Each structure stands twice: as C-alpha cells, then as structure tokens.
Amino acid sequence: MVAIDSDALAAAKLLAEHRLPGIVVTDAAGKPYAVLPASQVVRFIVPGYIQDDPSLAGVLSENAADRAAEKLRGKTVRDVLPEHLRDVPAVHADETIIEVAATMARFRSPLLAVVKDGELMGVITASRLLAAALKV
C-alpha cells in the first residue's frame, strides 16, 4: 500500500521491484482510497501522441525512452490515479473464487481489497486469483 500523497516515482519503483499489477492507495487516514494499476503508470509516462500512434515510438531515441520515467518526478500518486478506480473494489474474505473473479471483471481492476468485519485483511491480485482458480 502507498499513501495518496506519496511520491509517484517511489510508487512506480515499488510496482516494478515487486512485479505488482497494481497497488492499493490509502487516504490521509490510512483507509483504502483507490487502486493504482501499473498499466496506469505506464500510460502516464508514455506521451499521448505515441499512445495514439504507436508507430511513432520508433522515432524516439533510447535516451528519450530512458527519460520517460522523469515525468513521474515531483508528482504524487494522486496525480497519476485513474478516475475509474477512485474507489477500492473490495470483496469479503469468505467470497468464492467465482464471486471474486466477477467483482474483479466488473471493476476492471488488477487487484481487489479483501475485507473482514470492515477491516482490510489484504489484497488479491489477478494472477493469484488465476492461480487459485487453475489450482497451480
């Protein structure tokens, strides 16, 4: 978990170092506030014109690509959050794999908060959900 006003570059490094699909963002009181998918961080650092036309990526030098992460410097996690994941999708600790999968699909979130008696117990990622469903 990261706080909403924490450094966006540090959050991106946490996602990368731990190979996380996303991370729960907490508000100032430490309560779950949002989900920051790693894909959203990627969208933030890739220029819009390249997202619109990926063939333009070839005209950038490797040096420019190395500087892409600099767009995160001085930004907070709040600055890079997607609008559609401002509420943390949550499931109850006793829900079945199918119930959890349905919630994950409905919210298009790479992870869900797991709660029990109103308290955050942990997080389940899409890859962990698939592993459980496929028994791998």
Report whether CATH 2.60.120.470 matches the domain 1-88.
Answer: no
Q: How confident is the model at residue 75 (pLDDT cuts 50, 70, 90)?
A: very high
Residue 31 or 12, more confident: 12
Q: Say whether 89-136 and 1-88 share the same fold.
A: yes
Which pLDDT tens digit goes with each residue over 90-134?
899 999 999 999 999 998 888 888 888 877 888 898 888 999 889
Q: How far from 108 is each of 11, 13, 28, 36, CA to CA, in Å? A: 21, 23, 25, 12
Domain ranges of the chain: 1-88, 89-136
Percent of the chain with pLDDT over 70: 96
Largest CA distance in the chain: 53
pTM above threshold 0.85: no
In this prediction, residue 69 carries a pLDDT of 76
Closest CA to 25 of 77, 98, 89, 84: 77
Residue 27 or 6, more confident: 6
Tell whether the model's pLDDT for residue 85 goes beyond 70. no
Which class is 89-136 in CATH?
alpha beta
